Every structure is written in C-alpha cells, then in structure tokens.
Amino acid sequence: MHKYKRTVLVVAVIIFLFSPPVWAGEKPVSLTNLMSIVQKEYVHQIPRATLAGGAISGMQLYLKLRGEDYGFLKEPKLKLTDDNADQILDESYNEVLKHYPTTPEEGLSRAGIRGMMTVLSDPYSFYMTPEQYKDLMEEMQTSSFAGAGILIELDRNRHDQLTVVEPIEGSPADRAGLKAHDMILEIDGKSTQGITLEKAQVLIRGEKGSKVVFKIKRPSAGIIFNVTITRDDIITKAVYSKMIYGVIGYIKLRFFGENTGDELAGAIASLRKQGAQGFILDLRNNGGGYISSAIEVTSQLLSSGSKVVSVEERNAPVEIFVSKPNLNYRYPFVVLMNRNSASASEITAASLQEYGRSKLIGERSYGKASVQRIFPLADKSAVKLTIARYLTPSGAYIHNRGIIPDIPIPDNSHAYGYVSDKVVETAVNELKTEIRSERGKTETLNELVYKIENMKCPGCSENMQILEDRLELKNGEFYENIVYGCPKENVIKHITIKRLELISGNYKIKSSTGVNRQGR
C-alpha cells in the first residue's frame, strides 16, 4: 500500500477522489473477468498480457510466502501474449490448485488481484480486503465506531513514522490531550516501526470502554510520554462548525462523503442565524472523497451554473460539472488548505480561487487530479481503479503540482481551528476586511432573502423557500432572478430586480402573481 495514505481511525482512507461504487456482480469475479474490467475502465490502456503476468506474479509471491515451490509458473508466464493471456492465467491458477489441493482459493485469488494491481504502478489503484472496504464505506456514509478518534498518517518526512494528523474534536484522543504532529511510537507496548495504517487501525480499535495505551513523542516539546485512552463511540461527521470572533463562521470539512453537502448547508444556515457575516472553510488535512460531494459543496459557494470541474475518461467525451442553484455564494468566504488537502478539496479550492470567489490561505495543496471508482467484489472485497483525470475550471491539470495559495503561511499549528492557529488568525483578518467592504453591497440582498424565507405560504402556513437564484446580464445591466415558493403546496413565484436598484435599496418587487411589494 502506498505510503501517502492516512486514515481517520478506525477507517482506512487514502487521499482520493472517487465516484460511487459500481458492483461487479453477484458471483465471484474471476481473474480473467477482472482483467476485462481493468482494460475497460482504467484511465490508460494496459495490455492484457501485462495484467495476466502481474496476476501470475502475485500467485508466485503467495506460494513463496507459504514456503511452497512456484517454479512451475515461470514457463507459462514467458509465453504470455494478449491473445492467450486468459487461457494461460486460468491454466496457471488451476495448476496451483492441482499442485497444492489445500491452497485456500480465496487467498490465491486475492494474491492474483494484488499482483494485477501492482503492474499498474498507480498508488491510487489497489485491492481492498472486505474489512478495509467496509471501513472506507462506513466513513464515507458518516457512520460511528468505537475508537480513539484521531486522524493519522505515515509521515513521509519522518521515514513513514505513524503520526497524528489531528484528533477529532471532543473525542477521547482530544480529551487526552493528543495533538497534531504527535508521533505514535508504540501502541499497547508494540512498536509502530514499519507498521501499516491497517495494522495500526486494528491495534487501536476496540470495544467501547476498553483502554489503549500510546507511547507518544512530541517533537515540538522534545518529550516522550505514555497516555492511556478509554475508547468511546466516535461520530465521523464530515462537518464541524462554530462561531469565532463574534461575526465569523468557522467550518471544517474533514472529508467529502455522501452527506457532506447537506451537513455543510446546515452548518452555513446555523451560523448565519448566529450572526455570521463571513465564513472560513477549512480544508486542511482533507484528503477528498466523492466527486459528487465536491460538486454539492462547491455549488453552495459559487454562483449558479458556474463550471466547477471537467472530467476526462479514456474513450469518453469530456464531462463538465457545473454548480447548482444557491444563495450562499454572496457571503464572504476564505479557504484554508495545506499539503494534505487533496483531490475533492483541490477541486473546491481551485474553483473558488479561479473565479475570484475566495482567497486561499496556507500551504500548497497535495496535487491529486485523478478520479477513482470502486468495483466491489462478491466476497465483499473491492478494487479501486483510476478511471479519469480532472481539470480545474480554467483547464489546469494540477496532478503532482498542487494549488498555490494566495496567502502562503506554513501550517505548523498544533490546534487547528482555535485562536492560537496562525492560519485561522490570518483568515479572520482577511475576512473582516472583506466584510467591511461588502457589507453595503450585500445588506439589501440579505434583507430580501430574509423577508422571503420568512413569508408564509397561504395554503399551509409553512415558510417559503428559495428554490433558485441567478444573476443575469441583460442589455448591459445585471438582474437578480429569484424563484421561491412552497414545494408542499406547489406554489412557485418569481422575482426579477435590477442589481443596482437592489444595492441602493430603492426597488419594487413584482412577483409572477402580479402582487407588488415596496422595498425599503
């Protein structure tokens, strides 16, 4: 597994962007059938002989680790061509079972799959065991689990040392005082040297109420100490939010899961009711998630119909995703990112930056511009394949390059989201300036939105809802086109106002029902 992974314990998550899973079928997928999936779906064309050779190599390694002879597989591998790849692979598989009748077919098949993934030389395409796949899906669906509540990684700058990225707010690890950048040297007395994230996950996971002991090295203080943590239920919500400095809404996105868009909308609405006049969107250490979730998130921050991202698949037309109707884009936003902000985080950050919607503050992002799709297998394991690459709204390909922030600041904070966080402090100062300059321009629109959202439906007395908002240019003037109504009673109304009249406050609202309402 590739060393840039990181995970929210106890769910294995790789820096990723992927579309929803596509089921491979109910029956066990043979290695030859899996070759067909890879050839059809993978972003690059891979010769069938290459895939079959990888699968046979995987089986050879499996036999070697079991202490069994595998020499009889060498000759068939030398005869591989694209035309005979299926036949030789099937024959090699059956030959192993013939030589060693007690060989577990499940283990042999998985070894072949891993070998096939290896020849792709793609850190984002790999095999997942049933446990790994289950854990990944649980996190993306915002489930709960019993554990310590920390985001961890194998730090590439510290020889893959198991390291805390950050504790989840309110978790046992947070209450115990663990901090970002803490190095985990031991778990229950077992050294973490050379450990995988999957193994660390198993060691830290446990029953609610049970205890786990960490040996921690804190580089910032130059100390080593033990800490005992009592495991508890951890809710892996994607969004955490709070008010800071009286007028700023702070929103942290941990990942882009199935419900992230709804969670973000709820957070924005709640913070607005608390008086937020500007927002910080913290994407630091957010490794990505579903591409559909990235569209849902950016749709709440850009004007309706804005191009968000283009996805290029092999042998397929370019697919362009645009933002959906919303109103939140009118409020000042700044975005925080660091070297661990990847994939869906970069889609969001790039689109906001390129449209001039938000300044980016922090470090250059990770640089992952590929799209993966999960193909679940019948034994509840799965393979994840890179199926496409994406481009930012301007057409930039940021893979292995990342996004350069507007205001670069090293992210060496140990307490993300708090007043001691220099990146957040910079964002707050930037927002206050924007709020002062934008207040006069947006005040009347905000008042109008407030009035509409507090209108009562004549049929059911429920509050009206904003259904769509567009800013259009007609005959050299900008117009606000707002659609609102009550879906329950199927009441729909339309409002069109000149932008300059709206800003001045001297406007009349004429709805599609013909009713006139005088502005202030």
Listed residue (174, 294, 255) closest to 6, CA to CA? 255
Strands 477-486 and 491-498: antiparallel
- At residue 144, the 3 state secondary structure works out as strand
In degrees, to the nearest 5, what angle opens at C-alpha 292 toward C-alphas 286 and 295? 80
Distance CA 112, CA 383 (A): 12
> What is the arrangement of strands in the sheet containing 465-474, beginning at the earlier edge strand?
465-474, 477-486, 491-498
- Say which of 368, 384, 413, 430 is annotated catalytic: 368
Give the end-to-end CA distance of the chain in Å, rounded to a whole number.
Answer: 62
Strands 358-362 and 407-408: parallel
Q: Residue 399: count other Cβ atoms within 10 Å of its Cβ.
A: 15
Residue 316, judged by CB atoms within 10 A of its CB (0-12, 13-18, 19+), counts as: exposed
Are 401 and 221 spatial neighbours (Cβ–Cβ below 8 Å)?
A: no
| Assigned token pair, 128 | 């997942």
Distance CA 504, CA 482 (A): 18
Question: Residue 135 — left, alpha, or beta (φ > 0 → left; ψ -120 to 50 → alpha)?
Answer: alpha
368 a catalytic residue: yes
| Assigned token pair, 428 | 């707050």
- Say which of 354, 434, 453, 462 is annotated catalytic: 354
354 a catalytic residue: yes
- Say which of 171, 323, 343, 351 is annotated catalytic: 343
Total number of residues shown for the chain: 520
48 CB-near residues (< 8 Å, 6+ apart)? 35, 39, 82, 85, 86
Stretch (H or E) spanning 500: helix 499-504
Q: Residue 440: count other Cβ atoms within 10 Å of its Cβ.
A: 9
Distance CA 128, CA 109 (A): 13
Residue 62 Cα distances to 68, 90, 300, 465, 497, angstroms: 9, 16, 49, 60, 70
Catalytic residues, which ones? 343, 354, 368
